[in-house]
Chain A
Amino acid sequence: MSSLHSVLGELTPLPGVRGALVVSRADGLVVADALREDVDGRAVAALAASLADRMAGVTRALGQPEPVAWQLVGSEGLLLAAPTREDLLVVVVADPAVNAGELRLRVLRAAERAA
């Protein structure tokens, strides 16, 4: 497993990224983070883990595997997450103007490296 902070270090330089975290899915706690001061890491971790469970519930009901990534888009920002094989979640909070395609690729890569 790569250093989690080095994994996060590849996400935060992207313009528009407010913060990135690695979250424990089981309890919604922060494992590692790289956040702007105005981002509440504990809230992000708890909410992202909870939402990830919901997403998994939807795909499970459809007989599909768990999502490899998911994205919540709001009018003022977005939350992008990808589970790792270690029951962790790589999570990024970003501005709406972020390059979402580039961010998605980086998050998927980070989830692989964090596994």
Chain B
Amino acid sequence: MTGDDIQALTAQLARDPASLVFLPLAEALRRRGQLDAALAVAQGGVHRYPEMAGAYDLLARIQSDRGEGDLAFDAWTTVLRLDPDHLGAHKGLAFLAFRAGDHARSLRYLRRVVELKPQDASLRAALARVEAALGVRQVPGFGKAAADPLRALEAEPGLALLVDLQGRTLAGGVTDRAGRAASEQVGAALAGISREAERTARLLRLGAWRSLSLEGGPAHFELRTPTIDSVLLVSRPREVPAGRLALLAERASAAARRWLEELR
């Protein structure tokens, strides 16, 4: 849209403030990066048409472009209250959730987008890309695919592994010193460790076991039990201070616990 077009739309809106021309005008201003002007026009439209989902969607996109995620979230939530199947709101909320690191929520919105428009190959491709980026895979024992909760926490792959009591990988993955995938072997070694630690702690009157720390040669390891039926291993090179590693393990354990609870 040219500057002349925008001028014409602005004049039209001035002549007839009730006109729906605020929609293309605010959108054109947004695309040109004139976000303050776009916001003013969209806010006027929302004020005049408080039941129009499209007006709130436009407002949310402008607020998102302005980096006002919380306001955009509120606006898109309002859109879904007015129109629960609004494609743009689901897409927008998926984007906001992804940006905030809430990948599970982001995936839920994105999957709904594809449900709403299954014939759109670009949306399916976008979903596949996000699923791949988030390490979505089938989770043993749950019969469904889910994003890997350790992916977002770990700066590089191969340093954290979550297994069930049978040693099956639930999330993450580890590599051996040579860089080869070692999750299956490590999972098998971890399988009985939770029961063993629990038994040891109980018989020696140490209370409920909270952590196992292994001080290795080139690397150190922390073990946690996020839930009674899972074990988490987090490793780092020995240069990483022990306290820092313990903190990382606590964080990963909390994320794993939330994730498992959501899966259930």
A-facing residues in B119-133 (Cβ within 8 Å) = none
Q: Find out whether the CB atom of A72 lies under 8 angstroms from the CB atom of B205.
A: no
Q: Find out whether the CB atom of A54 lies under 8 angstroms from the CB atom of B207.
A: no
Using known A-B contacts A77-B205, A77-B207, determine if residue A67 contacts B176 with beta carbons closer than 8 Å: no
For chain B, give the interface size range.
35 or more
Q: Find out whether the CB atom of B207 lies under 8 angstroms from the CB atom of A62.
A: no
Query: Chain B nearest CB: distance from A112 CB in Å?
Result: 14
Q: Find out whether the CB atom of A51 lies under 8 angstroms from the CB atom of B200.
A: yes
For the residues of A in contact with B, the DSSP-based class is mixed
Using known A-B contacts A51-B197, A61-B182, determine if residue A67 contacts B206 with beta carbons closer than 8 Å: no
Residues of A within 8 A of B263 (CB): none
For chain A, give the interface size range.
35 or more
Q: Find out whether the CB atom of A68 lies under 8 angstroms from the CB atom of B216.
A: yes
Residues of A within 8 A of B197 (CB): 51, 72
Q: Find out whether the CB atom of A70 lies under 8 angstroms from the CB atom of B204.
A: no
Q: Find out whether the CB atom of A51 lies under 8 angstroms from the CB atom of B219.
A: no
Query: Chain B nearest CB: distance from A35 CB in Å?
Result: 12
Q: Is B141 an interface residue (CB 8 A)?
A: no
Using known A-B contacts A54-B192, A64-B217, determine if residue A76 contacts B200 with beta carbons closer than 8 Å: no
Query: Chain B nearest CB: distance from A36 CB in Å?
Result: 12
Q: Which of B174, B207, B216, B233 contacts A76 (CB 8 A)?
A: B207
**Bound Cα distance A43, B185 (Å):** 29
**Bound Cα distance A68, B174 (Å):** 21
Q: Which of A39, A66, A69, A75 contacts B208 (CB 8 A)?
A: A75
Query: Chain A nearest CB: distance from B207 CB in Å?
Result: 3
Q: Is B210 an interface residue (CB 8 A)?
A: yes
Q: Is A110 an interface residue (CB 8 A)?
A: no
**Bound Cα distance A68, B235 (Å):** 15
Q: Find out whether the CB atom of B203 lies under 8 angstroms from the CB atom of A43.
A: yes
Q: Find out whether the CB atom of A76 lies under 8 angstroms from the CB atom of B215.
A: no
Using known A-B contacts A47-B199, A63-B176, A74-B209, determine if residue A58 contacts B190 with beta carbons closer than 8 Å: yes
Q: Find out whether the CB atom of A47 lies under 8 angstroms from the CB atom of B204.
A: yes
Which residue of A is nearest B185, CB measured? A61
Query: Chain B nearest CB: distance from A45 CB in Å?
Result: 11
**Bound Cα distance A71, B193 (Å):** 13
**Bound Cα distance A74, B193 (Å):** 14
A-facing residues in B173-219 (Cβ within 8 Å) = 174, 176-178, 180, 182, 185-186, 188-190, 192-193, 196-197, 199-201, 203-219
Q: Find out whether the CB atom of B209 lies under 8 angstroms from the CB atom of A58.
A: no
**Bound Cα distance A48, B206 (Å):** 13
Q: Find out whether the CB atom of A58 lies under 8 angstroms from the CB atom of B199.
A: no
**Bound Cα distance A65, B199 (Å):** 26
Residues of B within 8 A of A60 (CB): 189
Q: Find out whether the CB atom of B214 lies under 8 angstroms from the CB atom of A72.
A: no
B-facing residues in A62-110 (Cβ within 8 Å) = 62-79, 93, 104
Q: Find out whether the CB atom of B213 lies under 8 angstroms from the CB atom of A62.
A: no
**Bound Cα distance A99, B113 (Å):** 55
Q: Find out whether the CB atom of A63 lies under 8 angstroms from the CB atom of B177.
A: yes
16 A-B pairs within 8 Å (CB atoms) are namely: A39-B204, A47-B199, A58-B193, A60-B189, A61-B185, A62-B235, A65-B217, A67-B214, A67-B215, A68-B216, A69-B215, A70-B212, A71-B213, A74-B207, A75-B210, A79-B200
* A residues lining the B interface (CB < 8 Å): 39-40, 43-44, 47-48, 50-51, 54-55, 57-79, 93, 104
